[in-house]
Each structure stands twice: as C-alpha cells, then as structure tokens.
Amino acid sequence: MRKLLLSAICLMIAVLSFGQGSRATKIDTLRLWPNGAPNAFEIPGPESGFITFRAKEYEDAMMEVYPAANPNGLCIIMCPGGAYIMQSQTYEGRDMKDWFNSRGITYCMLQYRLPCGHDDVPLSDVRQAIRLMRGKAAELGITKIGIAGNSAGGHLAACAATMYDSPETRPDFQFLMYPVITMEASFTNMLSRDALLGKTPSQELVDKYSCEKNVTKDTPPAFIFLCSDDKAVPPANSLRYYEALIANGVSASMHIYPFGGHGFGWQDSMRFKFNWVDELETWLNVVVLK
C-alpha cells in the first residue's frame, strides 16, 4: 500500500512538472531604468494643469515578460491604453498573453510612465523596452520584435514605429488597436492630447506627435483594426495613418468592423473578436514571419 501511495505521489509530481514546463513562465518583472531614468521627474501637483491623480501608480517604468515555451522568433511589446492618464493593464494588457504564447510569441506588457508635462517620457520608456528585449533575443529565441498598443497606447506604439532613434529601437512590425494617431485638434482624442502635450501646445509639438506625418519608407509593416462607430477616437486617425503608410510603400493591413465602439481590448463581448484575432494571426504568419 505504501509503495502504491509513493508511486501515485511520484506520478502526480511528474504530471505537475510537465504541465508547468509546457506553459510560458513569467520572468521577474523588468525595471526599465534600474539605475534611474535619464529623464526622471517629480510628479507635479494639480496646479500644473495636467491630470496627475493616478500618475504615482505608474511612476516606475517596468515590463512583464512572458516567454513562449516554443518560440517562433516573434516578440510583442504591448502598450495598454488609457488616454495617457492611466493604463488598462488587464484586458488591454495581461489578458492577451496566453493567446500570443500559445502561438510561439513572447509577450511583454509595458508599464510606461505617464507624461505629466514631459512629452518625451512615454516614448523614451518604449524605446528602452525594445532595447532590453533586443538584449534578451538570444536567450528567448527572438528574431523580430513588434510594438503594439490600444488607443493612446496605440499612439505610443505608432510613435515608436515612426520616431525610433536608432536601428536598435526600430520595431520590426506594429500592431495597433483603435489607435490615437494624430495630435491635430480636428480629429484627435483631446483627452490624450491634453495629457501628453498640454492644453496649448505649439504647432511644432503637434506635428512632432502626429504619427501620420512621420511615416517614411522605413516605417515597419502595420496591422491596424478599429470600429466604424468609435466615438472616442475618430476612425480618421487610422485612415490617415493607413494612407500615409501606403503612400510611402509600407506594407499595411487595416480592418474596420461596423460596430464595437472603443476600448474593448481582449474582451469576448466584442462581437468581431474571432474575426480580428483570425486576421491578426494570418498577418503574423504570412507577412511578419515570411
């Protein structure tokens, strides 16, 4: 009886060990700037005119890394949305990790610092995140690093794709969900613009962060999807970006669904979830992995 019990325990341990080995494991959360960010700042008070009430939650720039058990060479760095005043880290962040991991893609969720009057800060964080993952490429079986984002996180991702400062920080591809693209007042999301640039930005600053104006022939290939009835971020954002990509000879795929609104992320309540996920998988396999 004792031998039978020991055998059962050994079998249980073996099964559990196999199950754990077949799932992606989470690397300890990486701090982007362990020795302090070069553009560190004190979060201002409400007298600054910026919305800063949740900025303390995101004061430390960090990244959760979920390696694929059987890597296919791809890595995605996701920037959750939140109008640059907060971050939706569940359904626009962590909830997507299992889908990507199951397809051999290492998944990273970036917690970037909020600008609070320092427009360069979020972009500096995403560039550093790309650098860090380049440094882990051999260890994790990564050959291509993509940037992704939702809403204002999509704007940050598009900035990374069009405003990289070296070959090392250039993403290999971009995946944008209902993104803010422009900072032009006529069709941007004003909450995101005010949070990033302030209420009275110069035209020079508006142009700098209007991603449709920064596309070149070297901008990485893009997958974009959105809904026609998005009231938070006008569809013109994605349309203008797509037009700029095509005009510059950049490979781009855009999918527009008739309804679904804004901010749904990975939630099953989005009626066309199966469709956009299927299209994304096809694009990753046919365009990015070619």
Structural domain includes residue 10: no
Structural domain includes residue 16: no
pTM value is 0.91
CA dist 179 and 81 (Å) reads 9
CATH code (residue 227): 3.40.50.1820
CB burial of residue 133 (10 Å; 0-12, 13-18, 19+): buried
Q: What is the pLDDT of residue 290?
A: 84
Q: Which domain holds residue 279?
A: 22-32+47-288
Structural domain includes residue 15: no
The beta strand positions in 54-161, using DSSP E, are 62-66, 74-79, 106-111, 144-150
Q: What is the pLDDT of residue 45?
A: 86
Cα 251 from chain centre: 19
Residues of the chain with pLDDT under 50: 1-24
Pairing type for strands 144-150 and 106-111 reads unpaired
Per residue in 230-244, pLDDT tens? 999 999 999 999 999
Question: What is the total count of domains within the chain?
Answer: 1
Structural domain includes residue 251: yes
Structural domain includes residue 8: no
Structural domain includes residue 107: yes
Structural domain includes residue 4: no
Spatial strand order of the sheet with 252-257 comes to 27-31, 62-66, 106-111, 74-79, 144-150, 173-177, 222-227, 252-257
Structural domain includes residue 40: no
